[in-house]
Amino acid sequence: MRKRLLGSLIAMVLLPMQGLAAISNATLEDFELALWKVRSDFHMLTVMAGSKTYISNLDGAITRAQSGMDTLRRDAEGSEERKLVADLTRHWDIFKPAAQGNTMAEQGFTRTYTIQDVNETAAEMSQRIESFSGATEGEYDDVRALSAYLQRMTSEYLNVAADPGGGMASGADVNRIEFKDAVPNFEGMLAAAKKNHADDEALSRALNQTGVKWMFIRESMVKFYENAVPYLIYRYTNQMVETMSQAINLASTDVEIEKPSFGPVE
Q: Where are the domains of the chain?
A: 2-251
Q: Cβ(42)–Cβ(102) under 8 Å?
A: yes
Rg (C-alpha) for the chain, rounded Å, is 18
| pLDDT tier, 227 (very low <50, low <70, confident <90, very high otherwise) | confident
Question: Does residue 256 have a pLDDT over 50?
Answer: no
Question: Does residue 208 have a pLDDT over 60?
Answer: yes
Q: Cβ(194)–Cβ(207) under 8 Å?
A: yes
- The closest alpha carbon to 150, from 214, 246, 54, belongs to 214
Give exposure, 37-64, as e/b (b: 16+ Cβ within 10 Å).
Answer: bbbbbbbbbbbbebeeebbebbeebbeb
99-114 tens-digit pLDDT: 999 999 999 999 999 9
28-81 tens-digit pLDDT: 999 999 999 999 999 999 999 999 999 999 999 999 999 999 999 999 999 999
Residue type, 118: V
Please tell me the pTM assigned to this model: 0.87
Average pLDDT over residues 190-205: 96
Phi-psi region of 29 (alpha: psi -120 to 50; beta: other; left: phi over 0): alpha
